[in-house]
Structure 1
Amino acid sequence: MSDSFTTRVLNVASGSRERVVDLTRECEAFLREAAADRDGLLNLFVPHATAGIAIIETGAGSDDDLLAALHTLLPADDRWQHRHGSPGHGRDHVLPAIVPPHATLPVVAGRMELGTWQSVCLVDTNISKDNRQVRLSFLG
């Protein structure tokens, strides 16, 4: 049985362009308060139909590589049945099937168990939506 469940919503300004937004520092700050050196699980959830959470290296070009790969897999053109919004917006609604809207990470002694180059990121390809919410929940 867990001793605690704590949750917080981050408001993320993702802007009007496709982005990979590193949330690692925000997750660490949340865990400093919520986990207090305990073991548990950190869950992130994006309550949006056109964004996801990825664990990926950032800053060395991998974030741009991810966006390029998504362009290859999900071109922003008129092939999509879902046709409201900006041109090619239907692909944004397929994104969560590839980059899921959630991630759960182990927390040991109050810290995420990430690999050396791993970061927790919001992936947002919807250029029509410039603000996102990410729910952080700690169970420990």
Structure 2
Amino acid sequence: MTNTFTTRTVDITTGSTETVYDLTDHCAHFLREVAAGRDGLLNVFTPHATAGLAVIETGAGSDDDLLAALRDLLPKDDRWRHRHGSPGHGRDHVLPAFVPPHATLPVVGGELELGTWQSVVLVDTNVDNPHRKVRLSFLG
């Protein structure tokens, strides 16, 4: 069987507050269109210096817990050398070291192979940029 590679960019509006944006439906829709029941890998990538991707449970408080943990770990204050943008914006540029801008996930039978409570999310703490791009790429 010959492997095929298909990629697409999704535009996401995260708004003016820190957010954990669920991308799972975007991923599933993309795979329904391109995977054709094949096994492979889905790579999710966001080309931004101030956002990241995670696989976590959502809707039961874990998304808010993640944002709270990031606020504790990366306070929004004047300690950051990177100072353009809103106060504390330098922390947003450190975020991808803790929440990377990429994830590679298994696809089995054309469907994302996630655990029962897992979701693919965009983590965006940068309130200065509400418009994000996410690249979905399937190899299978």
- Runs (4+) of structure 1 exceeding 2 A deviation are none
Task: Mark the runs of 5 or more structure 1 residues left unpaired by the alignment.
Answer: none
TM-score by length of 2: 0.98
Counterparts of 1:49 and 1:27, CA distance in 2: 22
Tell me if structure 2 keeps the 8 A contact 1:2–1:139: no
Is 2:43 the partner of 1:43? yes
Number of equivalenced pairs:
140
Give 1:60's aligned residue: 60
In 2: Cα distance, 1:85 partner to 1:36 partner: 44
Structure 2 residue ranges without an equivalent (≥5): none
* Structure 1 contact 23–121 (Cα < 8 Å) conserved: yes
Deviation (angstroms), 1:75 = 0.2
The Cα shift of 1:3 comes to 2.3
Two-structure CA RMSD over aligned residues (Å): 0.8
Per the TM alignment, residue 57 of structure 1 is displaced from its structure 2 partner at its CA by 0.3
**TM-score with structure 1 length normalisation?**
0.98
Read off the aligned partner of 2:128 and give its amino acid letter.
Answer: S
Counterpart of 2:5 in structure 1 is: 5
State the identity %: 74
Aligned residue identity for 1:97? A
Q: 1:110: how far off?
A: 0.4
- Structure 2 residue aligned with 1:77: 77
1:30 aligns with 2:19: no
